[in-house]
Chains A and B, each alone.
Chain A
Amino acid sequence: MISETEPILELENVSMEFDGRYLFRGLKLQLRPNEVIGLTGPSGSGKSTILRIAIDLITPTSGTIKCNGKDIMNCDPREVRKKLILVPQQTSMFPGTVRENLLWGLKINGLESSDTELEQILREVKIEPSFLDKIAENLSGGEKQRIGIARALLLSPDALLLDEPTSALDERSTMAVETTINEVVERRNIGVLIVTHDKEQARRFTSRIIDLEGYQ
């Protein structure tokens, strides 16, 4: 169900041309708090590109992107990226432990956190607090994905943009990630825009689906 509050993220008539071909044209999207939107479409239709456009990592060919009502072209890109955090498909871990990875985002933004807070955030994404001292690079795909979500949540974003968060996971890990996302949305009242090639998954746990096939 779409809430009546102001959208966190708004895409107005966004088009992206690449190598003389439109990936998508005239895309419209509004993401509100407490909402999970699924972005589906065939391979190469620009699903991941939309997430990068939303946080100003790529500039679209045309269209406007607003974050909390403001055109992102008039905002500091760092401020936009702190409000809308992208967790990429193969979540990259910085060299070092899980603790160092969790603290990385905080440190660059001049923030700190105690071990108790880190343990709490790990519990929120269903990871044992004992993982804090593990080498992040050695974790499984599902664990890395959830650490990536925890790392983003520590910055208290308004929305998470998840790029195929379960594409490389088995069924059990997929369910764990989906449950985590749903609980996080409910608890924190944030919005989630999730890219998935799996239409069944989109139907299962998103409140609205946008199929890019309709924008080509």
Chain B
Amino acid sequence: MQFEMIIQAFQDILLNEENLAAIYAYIAAMVLLVVLVMISRWQRLGIVDKLLIGTVRGTIQIILMALILIQIFALENVFILYIVLLFMCSFAAYTVKSNLKNIPGVFVPSFVGIIIGGLSVITLCLLLGIIPPSGDYKLGEFMIPMGGMVIGNAMNISTLVIERMWSNAQKQRSLMETALALGATPYQATEMTIKESMRTGLLPNLNRYASLGIVTIPGLMSGMIIGGANPLFAAFYQVIVFIMIFLAQVVDAELVSRLFLKEMFNLRYQIIVPPPVS
């Protein structure tokens, strides 16, 4: 009986004219993916596996998400919504760990950084009454997509900060040793790297922020307008999302960098990062 229901659900999806058009577009877009893979192979960018696995995994994840999104968006229970966000944070930290396979101890700092960076911003917005806006809006409609954007960006800056800290400890070991030899703490010895990676991590969003509405038409705003929201309302919320992202990224980077130091230095302030494999 249940099996028949699942078949029926799939038939409903496939027989929908709009969905069939999307499936066609998806298949056609594989041409773009092939071009991308060819360029990556030619330039030996080392990202082909990530692109292919990411496409399959991402497609499955987003389809499943799309099927349950309506239910999640309709949620009003803050507790359940926080559990959904917590799951998203865990998956984000797992993604950071998977992308930095050669670096030890990545999961815990990124998990803590993403949770505190991401969820503190969401909580602050709830307390300030920013989400949900007054009117006939469901809490889930705002908390989940905005949380997703904040967590996703916190995930990106976690990856960047950890990767830069680790690779600089390998490539600029002499400078780091010079700093330690002058009595620097591990944080002082890596501070320049941390600040630089924070600036680099914030830069793409700062560019989008500066060109907002002229060059960049962000997803949230477009989605809200397509969904029938007032354009002015959508515009205000788009700026709010950017501010939330910046705050979450800065909090995340500060936390991740401090927590990750214990993977790079021991208690005697000695560098424990192995030299690069030549």
B178 proximal to A (CB < 8 A)? yes
Q: Which of B236-278 contact A (CB under 8 A)?
A: 268-271
Task: List A49-78 residues whose CB lies under 8 Å from chain B.
Answer: 52, 55-59, 77-78
A76-B86 Cα distance, complex, nearest whole Å: 40
For the complex, what is the distance from the CA of A211 to the CA of B184, rounded to whole Å? 31
Q: Is A95 an interface residue (CB 8 A)?
A: yes
B172-208 contacts to A (CB < 8 Å): 172, 174-175, 177-185, 188, 192
A131 at the interface (CB under 8 A from B): no
Are the C-beta atoms of B177 and A88 separated by less than 8 Å?
yes
15 A-B Cβ contacts within 8 A? Answer: A55-B181, A57-B181, A57-B271, A59-B270, A81-B180, A82-B182, A82-B183, A88-B177, A92-B172, A94-B175, A94-B178, A95-B192, A105-B183, A108-B183, A151-B182
Q: Which residues of B contact A56 (CB under 8 A)?
A: 268-270
Contacts of B179 in A (CB 8 A): 94, 104, 108
Question: Is there an interface contact between A105 and B182, defined as CB atoms closer than 8 Å?
Answer: yes
Most central of A92, A104, A109 by chain B CB within 10 Å: A92
Are A85 and B182 neighbours in the complex by a CB distance under 8 Å?
A: yes
A112 CA to B239 CA in the complex, in Å?
Answer: 42
9 additional contacts, CB 8 Å, given A91-B178, A152-B182? A52-B177, A57-B180, A57-B271, A78-B269, A88-B178, A92-B172, A94-B179, A95-B192, A105-B182
Q: A58 to B271, alpha carbons, bound, how many Å?
A: 8
CA distance A58 to B268 in the complex (A): 9
In the complex, which residue of chain A has the Cβ closest to the Cβ of B189? A108
Cβ-based interface call for A155 (8 A): yes
Q: With contacts A59-B270, A108-B188 known, is A81 near B183, CB below 8 A?
A: yes
A148 to B174, CA, bound (A): 13
Contact with A along B40-77 (1 / 0, CB 8 A): 00000000000000000000000000000000000000
0/1 per residue, A102-121, Cβ < 8 Å to B? Answer: 00110011000000000000
Number of interface residues of B (CB under 8 A): 18
Q: In whole Å, how far is B71's beta carbon from the nearest beta carbon of chain A?
A: 52
Give the A interface residue count (CB, 8 A).
Answer: 28
Residues of chain B touching chain A, judged by Cβ–Cβ distance below 8 Å, are: 172, 174-175, 177-185, 188, 192, 268-271
Residues of chain A with a CB closer than 8 A to B183's CB? 78-79, 81-82, 105, 108-109, 155
The residue from A77, A92, A155 contacting B175, defined by CB atoms under 8 A apart: A92
Once the chains are docked, how many angstroms separate the CA of A85 from the CA of B178? 9
Given the complex of chains A and B, what is the CA–CA distance between A86 and B188 in angstroms?
17
Q: Which residues of A contact B268 (CB under 8 A)?
A: 56, 59, 77
The residue of chain B having its C-beta at the shortest distance from the C-beta of A161 within the complex is B181
B205 to chain A minimum Cβ distance, whole angstroms, is 25
Find the A residue at minimum CB distance from B184: A108
A90 at the interface (CB under 8 A from B): yes
A104 touches B270 (CB 8 A): no
Residues of A contacting B175 with CB < 8 Å?
92, 94
Q: In the complex, which of the residues A78, A85, A92 contacts B185, with contact meaning CB atoms closer than 8 Å?
A: A78
Q: Which residues of B contact A105 (CB under 8 A)?
A: 182-183
Please, how many angstroms separate the alpha-carbon atoms of A79 and B269 in the complex?
Answer: 12
Pair B181/A81 contact, Cβ less than 8 Å? yes
CA distance A59 to B265 in the complex (A): 13
Contact A57:B177 (CB < 8 A) given known A77-B268, A77-B269: yes
Instruction: Check A94 against B192 for contact (C-beta < 8 Å).
Output: yes
Which of B182, B184, B269 counts the most chain A CB atoms within 10 A?
Answer: B182
